[in-house]
Amino acid sequence: MAEPYRNSDQNSFAFTSATKRWPIIITQAIDAVFRAIPGPSDELKTKEGRKIVEDLAKLKYELQHNRVLSPLRDDGLPDIAHYNDALAALGEPRWLEVSWLFSECYLYRRIATYFKTTTAWNTFDVFLSSKLTTLRSSLPAILELAHRYSSITKQSTFTDDASSLLFDEIFLICLWGNATDLSLLTTLTYDEIQSLQGSHARKESEKNILSNDLDKIYDLLTSLKSSGQQERRVDIVLDNSGFELFVDLYLAGYLLSQGLATNIVLHPKNHPWFVSDVLPSDFAILLNALQDPVDFFITKNENEHEIKHELKTEDAEAIKGLFASLATFHAEGKLSIRTNKYWTLQDPFWTLPEHTELWEDLKSSELVIYKGDLNYRKLTGDAAWPPTTPFDKALQTLGKGSGCRTLALRTCKADVVVGLDEGVDERLRQEYKDNTNDQSKRSWAWHGKYAVMQYCDGKA
């Protein structure tokens, strides 16, 4: 069994995250709370806000001075005991001694307790401002997709070959999320799709997908559709809000309209998590933006540092049309969200079968799509597997025979990676070695340039 990455490993991204990224994130959280403190106009909120700032500053100090991780404050939610029991089992670990996955989840869960134990700040999303800025900056990409939506979601529009290419395009957009290259966007005819398929940008992106099982997903969903099976549910365990959530909803609309799924279930987090992860409230923000794009993207775009956009009438109508489609699917019960405390536990997903109700629900789905880097880390235990380890082996209890089909759509932003061909990791390490000719770091996998689309059929 491979060992999990630890913060003490100076050749890993875990060390970089713990020593460099996390203090910056905490500082930004302090700034966000400080700006939101109302002053004398609201004595309770001001008092509680100052205490949150104090707690965040203490957390930052403990992290930077490698202090012992303290038990989490009881905020009344049922997962606190789960965290504290795991912490007790580790003894008195220090920040740079524990596994990266445990400590990073602990970090965000501890931050959440500062807000959950207050009256006036209980529902405050400390990361909301950066989410809104990112979403507003994505308007050009949203427009490109919105103008194409009605054409790509019509039934029987494409030949089989064009349908397959269109499927690939939309999944690629969903894969790259906020890193989407607009030259990858879907075109409307077979000839245009073929042209795009041969474009430089498309080839560049495909070259950076190191493991690609997308053809298996197309075969799966089209065969299920052809079988006449009445219920064909697809689940998406979400990653980031903003434009990435937009493209996740876009994928959902496409799959539903083409009959490649009859129901889509989306799984967000319960509280602010890893800065930009999707909360239930982020759905409302995004859908309100699509329903009234002028208000969100133009009228309320007051930040002087943000890019100012123009929105023509036909642009606004295209976005509203997309909203109307998604709203209809939701009203019909075909598009829904389900929350569960499990998604913010510190556990690898190997423990999913122990959470019987959630696990049985996921097994009733035809396909569970896990988005993003953190979900991939949890799927694989964030462990130092040899990179040629088969994906199904790294999934452990979620692998072959588990009863659940798993698809990971992940741009690489951490060390863990499996399912690569022999020699790929070595070649990339050679390309990305630093000036000391040191190849001990897997730095090629830290910045989102490369991706994997990996599938395991646990129902086979």
**Lowest mean pLDDT across 97-101, 150-154, 449-453:** 150-154
The pLDDT of residue 438:
65
Which helix (H) or strand (E) segment holds residue 21: the answer is none
Compute φ and ψ for 272, nearest 5 degrees: -50, 130
The pLDDT of residue 201 is above 60: no
Res 189: pLDDT: 44
**pLDDT score recorded for residue 192:** 44
Is the Cβ–Cβ distance between 293 and 316 less than 8 Å? yes
Q: Does 33 have pLDDT greater than 50? A: yes
| Domain boundaries of the chain, sorted by first residue | 13-125, 132-457
CATH pick for 132-457 out of 3.30.465.10, 3.40.190.10, 3.65.10.10, 3.40.50.10880: 3.40.50.10880
> Considering all CA atoms of the chain, what is the largest pairwise distance in Å, rounded to the nearest integer?
65
246 CA to centre of own chain: 12
Q: How many Å apart are CA 238 and CA 52, to the nearest integer?
A: 28
Q: Please state the rounded mean pLDDT for residues 8-18.
A: 95
Residue matched to tokens 């912490």: 87
Here the tokens at position 246 are: 């937009």
pLDDT of residue 434: 64
Nearest to 334 by CA among 222, 230, 226, 219: 230
Higher-confidence residue of 455 and 298: namely: 455
Percent of the chain with pLDDT over 70: 90
Q: What pLDDT does 106 receive?
A: 98
Over the stretch 370-415, which tens digit does the pLDDT of each residue have? 999 999 999 999 999 999 999 999 999 999 999 999 999 999 999 9
Beta bridge partners of 430: none
Alpha helix stretches (DSSP H) within 12-123: 13-16, 22-36, 43-64, 80-89, 100-116
The residues that bridge with 263 in the sheet, in sequence order, are 233
Looking at every residue in the chain, the average pLDDT score rounds to 90
Distances in Å between the Cα of 404 and the Cα atoms of 227, 229, 268, 417 are: 19, 17, 19, 21
| Per-residue DSSP letter, 72 | P
Place of tokens 């932003």: 413
DSSP string covering 449-460, please?
A: S-EEEEEEETT-
pLDDT digits (tens, 9 = 90+) for 208-230: 999 999 999 999 999 999 998 99
Query: Of 104-108, 185-189, 253-257, where does mean pLDDT reach its minimum?
Result: 185-189
For the cut 50, the answer to whether the pLDDT of residue 431 exceeds it is yes
Matching fold, domains 13-125 and 132-457: no
Task: Give percent above pLDDT 90 in the chain.
Answer: 78
- DSSP for residue 69: P
In angstroms, the Cα distances linking 77 to 72, 74, 113, 282, 392 are 11, 7, 9, 21, 33
The predicted pLDDT at position 305 comes to 53
25, 90, 32, 11: which is closest to 63 by C-alpha? 25
Confidence band (pLDDT; 50, 70, 90) for 151?
confident
- Of 129-133, 157-161, 189-193, 304-308, the range with the highest mean pLDDT is 129-133
In this prediction, residue 8 carries a pLDDT of 96
Would the pLDDT of 194 be above 70?
no
- pLDDT for 143 beyond 50: yes
What pLDDT is recorded for position 184?
Answer: 34
- 249, 227, 229: which is closest to 238 by C-alpha? 249
Residue 186, pLDDT > 80, answer: no
In our burial notation (b when 16+ CB lie closer than 10 A, e otherwise), range 305-341 reads: eeeeeeeeeebbebbbebbebbeebbeeebbeeeebe
Find the length of the chain.
460
Assign 421 a pLDDT band (cuts: 50, 70, 90): very high
Question: Does residue 443 carry a pLDDT above 90?
Answer: yes
| DSSP string for residues in 27-41 | HHHHHHHHHH--GGG
pLDDT on residue 161: 77
**pLDDT band at 301, cuts 50/70/90?**
confident
**Do 216 and 246 meet the contact criterion of CB atoms below 8 Å apart?**
no
* Residue 306 pLDDT: 55
- Interatomic CA distance for residues 23 and 26, integer angstroms: 5
Q: What CATH architecture applies to the domain 13-125?
A: Up-down Bundle (1.20)
* Host H or E run for residue 315: helix 313-331
Residue 368 region, left (φ>0) first, then alpha (ψ -120 to 50), else beta? Answer: beta
Tokens 């190191």 belong to 210
